[in-house]
Structure 1
């Protein structure tokens, strides 16, 4: 070795060499890659386990680098110009470019926006991005880990060795970046992090991964470049009108893995699910499907409500491209797609977000703020701008890249209150001394405002179970800015009533009427969701008391009450065929029940209610207006009879009459707004639905005899546990 060579490649200080050998050196660009010294250009390459390294440059012979300390370090002269490395491994030769020969890829604006918590296209800036740099194809990795001492990207391409590809820290915001040449889509990878105290953490999945390994695997996957060519322009152009407060919205909620299974009991992928589901939903008259969370999640039994991959559709049902095809298949048949989205909390799996860089990065340090005892999960720190940015970018990603039409935001109540499900002393008040989570409120307002601004026509639905005021009021007016809110109170009250023996319902009459006291305080969705048919609660059918006939009749009447009540509709899969057992996510709906006429009748009834609802402007146009509803019979406790009128300007009014006892009501007189003929257009007791056929022959005559403040009245027969719907003659 010549003296000139020694001078040209300065030896590494011993502490630097030791740290490099141990994989603890956090500034790789300072020592690896090409450098310009006083005597000329030189190169260091660190490839532990390699036998030799040669430099290849155009029009030059290979130059073999010499081994140096520590083991795995190779150094030597480097001529001007681009170069490649020929690395000899025990199993063969690898020819590649040097990751440390490339300059920074993230721009100053990206870094600034990430640091400010205002980068709304975060999945473009962070994560794994296949790209071409200086005519070299590869993958650019970037991750936020501000408190890490060293971050490496590891994967199948480097034998999961964190010494091979340490990343370069960019600026003061805590973003680490590295371009790895000659990688492509499909590579498995994670991040290996050493915290600021020198501790090696469990390897972490990428928070911004757009694809992930099928559980129980936990690696992230370099995604394919977006290739789907959307053809749903007609739907997107009319979406705002179809999802407006005056539109009919009837949502079929489903768990994609257990709606129907394949012949071997396997879950269907998105393409096969679309082939089966879309025609069914269309034939049933539902306007939307709502998918339980489809973001990647480690535990199947969480049904997706404990996600870790907020930018990645779960691999259980195929590739991200397949999910896009599913959404487009729905749009072709004029069916909207709502996705459950979970920004409230995340699981504490070691490979996930928990103490991501060795600190409470995404969560709170104090468990009184950052730990959910009910769910054994961690709560996002909504007050940290980078965390709220991460969540907002996730929401926008689903709306933009997958054209979903809305997000149902899970567990909003748990976000709004610092003392949610906590005893005194187990929570920390806000800076004003109150129980409200002011940071979460600010986050939700910003989220909803940005969705409205960037994706007009998309809807945001809050699962919020308290009386928090203004959930659907615009954020500019002091509200949270949601489009709709699940009416949990209506659901609890009415199911509580219907589970009682009809003999005692007279004492609890207000449980069916109380919802109208606040029905117009928000824009509501009436939910009969998966929550009501799990954890020992039984099915909707089994909640109904009495013998089998009474159970079916009671559920048919309840559905009629729901579909004609103010508020948009949501029904969990299986409810439409009167599933007898509660939902099992490891199976499928008991479709064989449709061999029974009673179950076929329930399915027909739900389809007819959907069509009646959509075809009757009075049942949806004034959903959020007090003027659209009027009680005709509100206080007949003894007979458990309810009657009400729905109306919209310039449209035919609709009258619903419900009898929730198993006793028919003969010659029952009700006030109506006009004399003349009234058509009985729906009867839940019709024989075609499995009922007894008691009714009014399809038509009644209203006499000009006032009753209950109405100018006319009709005398009708109300079937046992039955509901009737009437509309007047004429235009």
Structure 2
């Protein structure tokens, strides 16, 4: 027997034993399993917790010879087998992962190598499957410069020597681990070409542990049974540039708390969805819900782009939230961050010991504003990782759109950089050609490789041309663009006391000079109510009552202005404090009738906007807008017409940004009775109830370029909407 053991021991090289014990085994499938070093039937396995190890076949129990340190070997022939270890007090059995063949096919590897795998998440990541008749989890990760990659978790005591992976083409490593199932935590132990191994979370993980823990979690890619077929079939008509789109922006962690804790996806599926539906918005936009380690980043520094954050529940619970929104006729948009990523050790930074996802040169790869790393958009595999991620959310979670964060930072190589701190493009310019290619590629796939009717939105703060032009026409291919210029100008105007507004009149009119060059969204977002900027209410001048009146008039101006609408949570009822991501909104303020009145105004503005074609059909068409009087700077009055398609009645909008009530002659395009559709000074909104008793008569002479006119009462700090009662 001893001679047999010695014979077996002699067949295993000391180099292999040393590599196993030191965790430096480069080709584990040549060493472990039932064909050690090409010898048929020669089994080698490793379990440092075992004192003895048996191979269990259908007919026999074959004791394996110990070689020290938990290494065992023996001849088992070609019989199927399981392994049974013992430490002297307990036994355990398992299927040997090294008796299983690879899972990924040549086509997967070819497409990954080319950066063209449209379903990358189906190839990489962790997937519970049945392979060669056994159920377990298939792991695959891209780490082309690593010397060794292992899967570690509680199932192998987080020991990187236990499950080193098979290296495949395209720099992909994979292994099938029998018995590893849903909800198991895991990471990759990556051994770089030099230096010690590092623990990395899975870039394509579908779940993660609760921060500050950093491991990935095995999750399914969707057992949810969707019930939104009707919504999906009709979505395309709800998200065009002619559709009414009014978006409620939400940070889910601070909208409302339960027992002092942020709400769960399951709670949001009822409370948030019902609230947004009641308020008349058409869409919910979530600030990023891809997994992120630092709560203070609000999700804008993600480490798990393929995992909805576990802070609020499981992936299928997020799917159920989206399903619930669709059942109420609400679209769901999520902020998406392909511009940069944090440098946390467990994330993408130096993933395989090299700058793999990021640029190596900090002049290209480090973002000075956010202390983050910038993706290498020139690398095919990185572009594939990001573009496939956009498609993943739109397909697997039925998201209706993605709002792409920080687009300007991608477009310009010198973004927030001093002279000499950036690298020009090949033509010596500042444009980032590689990022442009990526954005166009992402939008092409988002619109072409997902169910019909999705939309993408760009947060782009410069005058880059063609942001919402199709890619085939040379544009970036977004569906919509946030109008940051409009937002900045109009908020600057509103911050001035009314007595000074006459000198800044053009801040309210300049947006119409370029207002139809893109498909614009008018955003009052979270960025306007944090970092010392104060709340929307605090931006307004005057007494508390005057602040509320200014805000009512401003919202009326916004909803009457061309462009889709976006309002951050809490702004709809004039939360007094600026937003705090650690606390829920101050819902108690709604006990004040004036704040409740402002909330009612937003509800009514949304319903007016949705139900009146002239206010949304031609948001991006210059023929849908006509000034009545843009030059009444001395009075700080603005008036204009909104036109729908033929047969739709026009709407006249007039705004007064002084605390002076006026009798005003309003030029109108037709005679007859014009209904006062909405008056922001109405008592139900907290105003003084001054107005026109619901209607005016256009029986006056031509005025302000219009063939007819009506003498109206224009309340102080107010916006009014009029529509002909008998449309022509």
The TM-score normalised by the length of structure 1 is: 0.98
Mapped to 2, the partners of 1:133 and 1:571 lie a distance apart of 49
Runs of 4+ in 1 over 4 A off after TM superposition: 1-10, 36-40
**1:589 Cα deviation from its structure 2 partner:** 1.1
8 Å Cα contact 1:8/1:38 also seen in 2: no
Q: Which is worse superposed, 686-695 or 699-708?
A: 699-708
Q: Which moved more, 1:638-647 or 1:182-191?
A: 182-191
Partner of 2:11: 11
Match of 1:537 among 533, 538, 557: 533
Distance 2:165 2:89 in 1: 26
Asked whether 1:711 is paired with 2:707, we answer yes
Question: In structure 2, how many angstroms separate the alpha carbons of the residues matched to 1:321 and 1:626?
Answer: 43
Aligned partner (choices 118, 121, 131) of residue 120 of structure 1: 118
| In 1, Cα distance between equivalents of 2:419 and 2:275 | 50
- C-alpha separation between the residues in 2 aligned to 1:716 and 1:223? 63
For 2:671 and 2:135, the matched residues in 1 are separated by 78
Q: Which residue of 2 aligns with 1:196?
A: 193
Deviation at 1:68, TM superposition (A): 1.5
What is the deviation of 1:196?
1.2
- Correspondence 1:48 to 2:45: no
Aligned pair in 2 of structure 1 residues 74, 489: CA closer, same or farther (>3 Å)? same
Matched, 1:210 2:206: yes
The CA distance in 1 between the partners of 2:510 and 2:87, in whole Å, is 75
Q: Helix, strand or coil: the match of 1:450?
A: helix
Distance 2:37 2:458 in 1: 61
CA contact (8 A) 1:664 1:718 kept: yes
Counterpart selection for 1:288 from 283, 288, 294: 283
Give, in whole Å, the separation in 1 of the partners of 2:234 and 2:7.
71
Q: CA deviation at 1:46?
A: 1.6
Q: State the alpha-carbon separation in 2 of the partners of residues 280 and 571 from structure 1.
A: 14
Structure 2 counterpart of 1:575: 571
Deviation at 1:89, TM superposition (A): 3.1
Q: Give the equivalent residue in structure 1 for 2:319.
A: 324
Provide the residue aligned with 1:430 in structure 2. 425
Q: Which residue does 1:25 correspond to in 2?
A: 25
Q: TM-score, normalised by structure 2?
A: 0.98
Please say if residues 8 and 39 of structure 1, whose CA atoms lie closer than 8 Å, have aligned partners that are also in contact. no
**1:64 is matched with which residue?**
63
Residue by residue, what CA displacement relative to the aligned partner does 1:565-617 show, whole Å, maximum 9, x if unpaired? 00000000001111100011111111111111100100010000000001110
State the Cα distance separating 1:358 from its structure 2 match: 0.3
The residue number in structure 1 matching 2:480 is 484
* Correspondence 1:683 to 2:679: yes
1:515 equivalenced with 2:511 (yes/no): yes
CA contact (8 A) 1:44 1:75 kept: yes
Rounded Cα–Cα distance in structure 2 between residues aligned with 1:378 and 1:38: 44
User: Structure 2 residue aligned with 1:405, among 397, 400, 406?
Assistant: 400
Residue 4 of structure 1 and its aligned partner are, at CA, apart by 6.8
For 1:134 and 1:246, locate their aligned partners in 2 and report how far apart those are by CA, in whole Å: 53
Q: 1:396: which partner in 2?
A: 391
Deviations 1:447-468 (A, max 9, x none): 1011111122000000000000
2:30–2:37 CA contact under 8 A, matched in 1: no
> Hey, what's the Cα distance between the residues in 1 that align with 2:143 and 2:292?
22
Q: Is the 8 A contact 1:9 1:76 kept in 2?
A: no
Structure 1 residue 39, shift from structure 2 partner: 7.6
Kept after mapping to 1: 8 A contact 2:303/2:348: yes
Partner of 2:332: 337
* Correspondence for 2:35: 35
Using the alignment, how far apart are the partners of 1:261 and 1:621 within structure 2? 38
Q: Secondary structure of the residue that 1:436 maps to in structure 2?
A: coil
Q: Take 2:661 and 2:484, find their aligned partners in 1: how far apart are those partners? A: 31
* Partners of 2:568 and 2:221 in 1: CA distance: 35
Q: Partner of 1:186 in structure 2? A: 183
**1:113-167 deviations in Å (ceiling 9; x for gaps):** 1111111211111111111112211111111000000111000001101011111
CA distance, structure 2, for counterparts of residue 630 and residue 391 of structure 1 = 42
Residues in 2 aligned to 1:31 and 1:40: alpha-carbon distance in whole angstroms: 12
Taking structure 1 as reference, are residues 90 and 595 closer, same or farther at Cα in structure 2, changes over 3 Å only?
farther
| Residue segments in structure 2 that go unaligned for 5+ positions in a row | none
Distance 1:38 1:268, change over 3 A: closer
Task: Using the TM superposition, give the Cα deviation of residue 16 of structure 1 relative to its aligned residue in structure 2, in angstroms.
Answer: 3.0
Moved more, 108-117 or 41-50: 41-50
Rounded to whole Å, the distance in 2 between the matches of 1:701 and 1:400 is 52
Change (3 A) 1:599 1:39: closer
Q: Please identify, of 27-36 and 315-324, the stretch whose mean Cα deviation from structure 2 is larger.
A: 27-36
C-alpha distance in 2, partners of 1:662/1:10? 97
Partner of 1:136: 134
Aligned to 1:608: 604
The CA distance in 1 between the partners of 2:592 and 2:453, in whole Å, is 41
Q: Which residue of 2 aligns with 1:162?
A: 160
User: In the TM superposition, what is the alpha-carbon distance from 1:226 to its structure 2 partner?
Assistant: 2.4
**2:343–2:373 contact (8 Å) kept in structure 1:** yes
Would the aligned equivalents of 2:151 and 2:164 in 1 still touch at CA under 8 Å?
A: yes
Q: Is 1:98 the counterpart of 2:93 in the alignment?
A: no
Could you tell me which residue of structure 1 aligns to residue 523 of structure 2? 527
State the 1:629 CA deviation: 0.1
SS of equivalent residue, structure 1 residue 55: strand
Q: Indicate yes or no: 2:372 matched with 1:384.
A: no
C-alpha distance in 2, partners of 1:498/1:438? Answer: 38
Q: Secondary structure at the match of 1:33?
A: coil
Kindly state the Cα deviation for residue 704 of structure 1 after the two structures are TM-superposed: 5.1
**d(CA) in 1 for partners of 2:192, 2:406:** 32
Deviation at 1:8, TM superposition (A): 6.4
**Alpha-carbon distance between aligned partners in 1 of 2:294 and 2:237, rounded to the nearest angstrom:** 38
TM-superposed CA distance for 1:549, in Å, is: 1.3
Tell me, in whole angstroms, the C-alpha distance in 2 between the residues paired with 1:283 and 1:31.
64
Of 25-34 and 481-490, the range deviating more from structure 2: 25-34
The CA deviation at 1:48 is: 1.9
Determine if contact 2:672/2:726 at 8 Å carries over to the other structure.
no
Q: Does 1:726 align with 2:722?
A: yes
Q: Aligned in 2, Cα 1:56/1:273: closer, same or farther, shift over 3 Å?
A: same
Q: Per-residue deviation at 1:37? A: 7.6
- Counterpart-to-counterpart distance in 1, 2:597 and 2:346: 49
- Of 482-491 and 708-717, more deviation after overlay is shown by 708-717
Give the superposition deviation at 1:36: 6.9
Q: Which moved more, 1:693-702 or 1:40-49?
A: 40-49
Q: Find the aligned partners of 2:235 and 2:38 in 1 and give their Cα distance.
A: 65
Q: Which residue does the alignment assign to 1:591? A: 587
Checking the alignment, whether the CA contact within 8 Å between 2:31 and 2:37 is kept in structure 1 is no
Cα gap change, 1:217 to 1:331, in 2 (>3 Å): same
Equivalent runs, 1:196-345 vs 2, <5 Å = 196-197=193-194, 199-224=195-220, 226-262=222-258, 264-345=259-340
Question: 1:338-357: per-residue Cα shift (whole Å, max 9, x none)?
Answer: 00110000000000000000
SS at match of 1:203: strand
Kept in 1, the 8 Å contact 2:140–2:174? The answer is yes
Displacement of 1:80: 1.5
Residue of structure 2 in register with 1:471 after alignment: 467
Tell me how far apart the structure 1 counterparts of residues 148 and 497 of structure 2 sit (CA, whole Å): 66
Q: Secondary structure at the match of 2:556?
A: helix
Residue aligned with 1:257, SS: helix
CA RMSD of aligned residues (A): 1.3
2:544 corresponds to which of 548, 553, 562: 548
**Does the aligned pair in 2 maintain the 1:372–1:378 contact within 8 Å?**
yes
Q: What's the CA shift for 1:365?
A: 0.2
Residues in 2 aligned to 1:191 and 1:468: alpha-carbon distance in whole angstroms: 41
Contact 2:377 2:434 (C-alpha < 8 Å) held by counterparts: yes
Offset, 1:49:
2.9
Match of 1:617 in 2: 613
Report what 1:672 is aligned to.
668
